[in-house]
């Protein structure tokens, strides 16, 4: 806009209603300042208009009396409290830890807890003549606040499985902590208030009750996660719901579904999946579960189905395209999303956010592979320990990489490549062909390690020898992976464990730890992450 047009716009008369609203708000702000200095009984119209720099007569235009102006000021603060705190925090009820963190931050923030505003709350409360107005205006607000805190604490107790805790007592304690911190604000100048210290004290109270939920912030990006992250029931539930539910999981190679009726199953962390080629030649993916009870319809890892899918327990039948036969209750089989990525099948829950596939998988595709050898073993360690082992010692490219990094050749004229498929899968070429590793969480501090070895499909003796060697090496490698992970887990569970000095972490490891840190109840965050 030109300077001339700006001047012309500025010269236009403003709407009278907008002008009156601004003047009324100006008086309310001045009244709050006067209340801060003088209290309700000694606040006069003259003192208010002196602060507002307005004429005394204009007060009567907006308020019937001084008392009406005082009440309007308290009503403004109560409405502001509801708008700035109660509404946004209530919207986060499904994430009680984030909601409580946000509640603490807003409650102790300058927006509603400036020294002048806090003193107004206490001045109305402290003067007997003003208490009736306070209860009439703020009683409902206070009840809403107490109910909200109680609900958030109750949800957190339930999700933390800490049923021995008393929600009413803990909620009352948190409200008391916040009130005491507010009282401190009322007796300080604005410049002397240390809001960060106040927030830390309030969160320290919550951390003392829910130590796993309100973990301390990570010291530096890529620093080790707190030891509680590898044995936390609350984090385990968050990972299953927020991390694995929509994550792509490897199911098998495309050549394994060459004919109609051939199938693959996956017992993964996000879901049990059934991938099959139907009679029309279309590859489909479904939840591998009966619609009556959640048992697997197909137990084998792979094979071929010549007849409709059947549940012998409930006498239910489904066509290979998922359609239910006859009066089958529950309807058709529930579908899953399916992706063929360079000859490798991946599945996930429908409706998940799209993600770009790593181009590193081009060098790891399913072309020219033979029937796999699959090994699986239980690991007395958290799945994150296993993943961190992969990311700490092996170069790779992530989801957004442009091409896989070449590493030392493990077969004649065949360069090896590797890729990490978040959050729990490692793919690489080796002397025996393609290796796919999956760390499948089973419980806090426990997981399964599954390995797929796809040899190169060749009849030449050298490559058959490499496939045999690869299978032998895979067994030894899994033993080493398990032994090392279990040793790390025992160290994390030791009461004497203290994180040591942190070396420079690879970029993928930093990203992985940041992802998990954001899921930690209470937000063990890295510096720079938004509150």
For the cut 50, the answer to whether the pLDDT of residue 185 exceeds it is yes
Mean pLDDT of the 463-471 span: 68
Q: Which residues contact 434 (CB under 8 A, 6 or more apart)?
A: 364, 366, 369, 427, 428, 452, 453, 454
Task: Rank 51-55, 135-139, 228-232 by mean pLDDT and report only the highest.
Answer: 228-232
- Give Cα separations from 126 to 118, 132, 173, 315, 469 (angstroms): 12, 11, 22, 73, 83
Find the range with the poorest average confidence among 42-46, 166-170, 206-210, 471-475. 42-46
Task: Return the CATH architecture of domain 248-351.
Answer: 3-layer Sandwich (2.102)
pLDDT, the chain, mean: 78
- Residue scoring higher pLDDT (229 or 127): 229
Domains of the chain, by residue range, sit at 21-209, 248-351
Residue 29 half-sphere exposure, CB side, CA atoms within 13 Å?
A: 11
* Res 116: pLDDT: 73
For the cut 50, the answer to whether the pLDDT of residue 106 exceeds it is yes
Task: Indicate the burial class of 266 (C-beta count within 10 angstroms; 0-12, 13-18, 19 or more).
Answer: buried
* Res 520: pLDDT: 75
pLDDT digits (tens, 9 = 90+) for 48-58: 666 667 776 66
Mean pLDDT of the 429-455 span: 90
The three-point CA angle 299-302-307 to 5° equals 75
pLDDT digits (tens, 9 = 90+) for 21-31: 777 767 767 66
Cα separation of 418 and 404, whole Å? Answer: 7
pTM of this structure: 0.58
Query: Please, which pLDDT band fits residue 527 given cuts at 50, 70 and 90?
Result: very low
For the cut 60, the answer to whether the pLDDT of residue 415 exceeds it is no
SS3 410: strand
Contact call for residues 236 and 382 (beta carbons, < 8 A): no
For the chain, percent of residues with pLDDT exceeding 70: 69
Cα separation of 349 and 58, whole Å? Answer: 64
Backbone angles phi, psi at 303, to 5 degrees: 160, -155
pLDDT digits (tens, 9 = 90+) for 255-300: 999 999 999 999 988 789 999 999 889 999 999 988 777 788 888 9
Q: What is the DSSP string of 264-329?
A: EEEE-SS-EEEEEE-TTS-EEEEE-S-SSSS--S--SSEEE--S-EEETTTTEEE-TTSPBPTT-T
For the cut 60, the answer to whether the pLDDT of residue 13 exceeds it is no
For the chain, percent of residues with pLDDT exceeding 90: 27
Mean pLDDT of the 239-264 span: 91
* Res 283: pLDDT: 95
* Res 221: pLDDT: 61
Paired tokens of 144: 């809403």
For the cut 60, the answer to whether the pLDDT of residue 459 exceeds it is no
* Res 531: pLDDT: 37
For the cut 80, the answer to whether the pLDDT of residue 360 exceeds it is no
For the cut 90, the answer to whether the pLDDT of residue 385 exceeds it is yes
Paired tokens of 417: 């490549």
pLDDT digits (tens, 9 = 90+) for 189-203: 778 888 888 988 999
Mean pLDDT of the 493-498 span: 78
Cα separation of 424 and 439, whole Å? Answer: 5
Paired tokens of 308: 């409709």
Task: Indicate the burial class of 456 (C-beta count within 10 angstroms; 0-12, 13-18, 19 or more).
Answer: buried
Cα separation of 77 and 118, whole Å? Answer: 10
* Res 11: pLDDT: 46
Beta bridge partners of 450: 376, 438
- Give Cα separations from 52 to 27, 45, 191 (angstroms): 6, 10, 22
Cα separation of 410 and 401, whole Å? Answer: 22
For the cut 50, the answer to whether the pLDDT of residue 107 exceeds it is yes
* Res 171: pLDDT: 95
* Res 299: pLDDT: 87
pLDDT digits (tens, 9 = 90+) for 60-104: 666 666 666 667 777 777 888 888 899 999 998 888 888 999 999
Cα separation of 277 and 254, whole Å? Answer: 10
For the cut 80, the answer to whether the pLDDT of residue 353 exceeds it is no
Contact call for residues 249 and 452 (beta carbons, < 8 A): no
Q: Does domain 21-209 have CATH number 3.30.2320.50?
A: no
């Amino acid at each position: 806009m030109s300077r001339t047009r700006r001047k012309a716009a500025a010269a236009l008369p403003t709407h009278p209603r907008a002008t009156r609203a601004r003047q009324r708000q100006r008086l309310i702000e001045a009244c709050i300042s006067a209340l801060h200095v003088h209290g309700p009984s000694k606040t006069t119209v003259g003192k208010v208009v002196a602060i507002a720099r307005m004429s005394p007569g204009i007060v009567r235009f907006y308020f019937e009396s001084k008392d009406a102006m005082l009440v309007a000021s308290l009503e403004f603060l109560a409405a502001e409290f509801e708008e700035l705190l109660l509404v946004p925090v209530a919207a986060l009820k499904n994430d009680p830890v984030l909601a409580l963190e946000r509640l603490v931050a807003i409650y102790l923030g300058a927006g509603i807890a400036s020294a002048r505003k806090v003193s107004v709350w206490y001045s109305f409360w402290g003067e007997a003549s003003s208490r009736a107005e306070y209860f009439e205006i703020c009683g409902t607000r206070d009840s809403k606040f107490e109910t909200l805190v109680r609900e958030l604490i109750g949800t957190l107790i339930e999700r933390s499985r800490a049923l021995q805790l008393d929600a009413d007592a803990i909620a009352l304690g948190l409200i008391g902590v916040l009130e005491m911190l507010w009282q401190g604000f009322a007796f300080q100048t604005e410049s002397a208030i240390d809001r960060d210290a106040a927030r830390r004290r309030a969160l320290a109270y919550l951390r003392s009750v829910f130590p796993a939920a309100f973990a301390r912030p990570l010291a530096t990006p890529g620093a080790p996660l707190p030891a509680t992250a590898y044995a936390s029931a609350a984090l385990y539930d968050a990972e299953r719901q927020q991390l694995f539910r929509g994550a792509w999981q490897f199911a098998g190679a495309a050549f394994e579904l060459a004919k109609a009726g051939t199938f693959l199953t996956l017992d993964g962390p996000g879901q049990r999946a059934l991938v099959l080629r139907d009679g029309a030649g279309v590859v489909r993916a479904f939840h591998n579960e009966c619609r009556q009870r959640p048992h697997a319809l197909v137990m084998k890892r792979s094979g071929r189905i010549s007849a409709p899918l059947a549940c012998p327990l409930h006498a239910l039948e489904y066509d290979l395209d998922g359609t239910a036969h006859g009066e089958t209750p529950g309807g058709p089989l529930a579908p899953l999303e399916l992706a063929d990525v360079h000859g490798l099948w991946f599945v996930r829950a429908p409706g998940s956010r799209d993600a770009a596939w790593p181009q590193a998988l081009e060098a790891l595709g399913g072309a020219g592979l033979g029937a796999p050898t699959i090994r699986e073993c239980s690991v007395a360690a958290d799945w994150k320990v296993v993943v961190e082992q992969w990311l700490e010692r092996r170069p790779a490219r992530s989801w957004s990489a442009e091409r896989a990094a070449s590493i030392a050749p493990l077969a004649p004229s065949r360069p090896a490549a590797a890729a990490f498929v978040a959050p729990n899968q490692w793919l690489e070429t080796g002397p025996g062909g393609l290796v796919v590793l999956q760390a499948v969480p089973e419980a806090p501090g426990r997981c399964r390690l599954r390995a797929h070895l796809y040899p190169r499909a060749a009849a030449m003796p050298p490559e058959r020898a490499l496939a045999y060697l690869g299978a032998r090496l895979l067994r030894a490698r899994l033993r080493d992976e398990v032994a090392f992970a279990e040793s790390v887990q025992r160290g994390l569970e030791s009461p004497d464990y203290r994180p040591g000095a942190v070396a420079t972490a690879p970029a993928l490891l930093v990203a992985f730890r940041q992802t998990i840190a954001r899921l930690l109840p209470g937000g063990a965050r890295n510096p720079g992450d938004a509150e």
